[in-house]
Each structure stands twice: as structure tokens, then as C-alpha cells.
Amino acid sequence: MQEGARIRLGVNIDHVATLRNARGTFYPDPLRMVKILEKLKVDGITLHLREDRRHIIDKDVVSIIKETNLPVNLEMAATEEMQNIATNLIPSAVCLVPEKREERTTEGGLDVINEEEKLKTFLRPLAEKEIRISLFVSPELKQIEAASRVGATIVELNTGTFCDLLIEQKKERYLDEFKKLTKAANFGKKLGLEIHGGHGLTYDSVKYIASIPEMTELNIGHFLISESVFDGIEKTIYKMRQEIDKSQKT
């Protein structure tokens, strides 16, 4: 990203699919949301194809990658099945996340240090297809260093802990976590990595995260889809965009 460019907003639309799947029907259609988001000029679409297909399913990934000109960021676990899907469909980016069946949503970042050799091998075919590689990590300097060693060009910093502490109003702890995120972003950029952030972001927490100077992209889902139930997606995206722009330090 050029110096001074505005932070990109990627919208995670998993929960449009959650709503559809709750009734086992065909609506609301995630692709319809993608078409609306194109008009609202968001910067990318994020989808998490989980092993248990609880929200986004294979058909969604195929149709969305085919039908949109927006960059698609495919979140996935480091499994052979997902590697095959990604190398066949070629999204703009893949964001590797840890995945446990029993979790409600992604918990914590990847343990890159302990998976270093496995990840190097896993990522090679993706890099050969020129898919951008992002690793979802906690704001820990050693994990970020390892991400750079295994061939990632992007780290997405897990903002989930910060967002939870902010909601709980644990001031000392959220300020401490914010410091960690700031330091991690600075460190990652110095290693030549592009810095993204995501998980749990709301209008309130995004003010902090968008103020981190190295931040280039934020991926936000659950809050945006939830707010749009009350306010509509257009107003919600507009408001989130405003919060990001007001907070960004150029």
C-alpha cells in the first residue's frame, strides 16, 4: 500500500450464509450481498470456508470468485482439502487461520512457530499460483517473525482479545493489548510484511485499530451483518467507513 493510502475495508459475509443455513433454504444469498457491497465500494470480500461448512459452502466460494471483481480473501485452515480448493479457485488472497470444530468462531492466532516446516510446504503451491498469503496471528513478535520466515507477505493481527476487553471495559488490559498490537504492527512492517487486522471489530474498537499507522486493511464481519439488521447494510458500511477514515493517521 502506498504511504497515506486509506485503510482498505474487507467485509466478511460468512453470517449472511449463517442466516441462510439456519433454514436450509437458498436465501439470503451471499452473492447478492457481494453485489451490494460492490456498489458500496468496499475493498474486498472475506469468506471463511470452514471444515464443517457451517456458513459459507463450496458453491458460494465458486460463484463469488467467478462473479465479483472485488479481491476475495479466503480464510481457511491449513489442510490438504483447503489447499486443493484454493489452488483450483485461486482467490486473491488466502488467510490461514487455526480451526477447531467445537469453537464458535476463530479463537486465537496460528501457532506459526510450532508449525514452521509444515506451513512452508503447505504455502508453496499457493505462492506458485500467485495467491497472496496472509497468516492470522496474535500480536506476538516471535509469531510475526516466523510468519515472515514461512513465506507470508501479510499478517492479519488478531484484534479479538482487544475487542473483548474493550467491551468488558477492562481499561488497563485493553490498553495493554492495544500497545501489543501497535508494537506488533510496527515490527511486522519493518520485516516487510503488510499489516491487516480483524476479529470482533465494532464502531468503537475500530477507532483504536484504525489509528495504528501501519494498518492497511481491516476485515470485519459479524458486527457489520448484525448492525445491518437494524440499519441496513448501506448505512452500516458508510458509518464504519467514516469511523475508519476519522481514526486513520496518515
Q: Which residues bind ligand PXP (CB under 6 A)?
A: 12, 14, 48, 75, 95, 97, 105-106, 136, 156, 198-201, 219-223
Q: Rounded CA gap, 93 and 68, in Å?
A: 14
Can the peptide bond before residue 30 be classed as cis, meaning omega within 30 degrees of 0? no
CB of 104 to ligand PXP, least distance (A): 10
Q: Which residues belong to the active site?
A: 48, 75, 199
Q: Rounded CA gap, 9 and 216, in Å?
A: 9
Pull the grid cell for residue 80.
490438504
CB of 124 to ligand PXP, least distance (A): 21
CB of 167 to ligand PXP, least distance (A): 12
Beta bridge partners of 155: 135, 195
Q: Which is nearer to ligand PXP, 156 or 227 (CB)?
A: 156
Q: Rounded CA gap, 158 and 137, in Å?
A: 6
Q: Which is nearer to ligand PXP, 2 or 83 (CB)?
A: 83
Q: Which is nearer to ligand PXP, 2 or 54 (CB)?
A: 54
Mention every residue, 6+ apart, whose C-beta is less than 8 A from residue 66.
none
Q: Which is nearer to ligand PXP, 30 or 200 (CB)?
A: 200
CB of 13 to ligand PXP, least distance (A): 10
Closest-CA residue to 194 (of 171, 220, 169, 215)? 215
Cβ atoms 129, 90 nearer than 8 A? yes
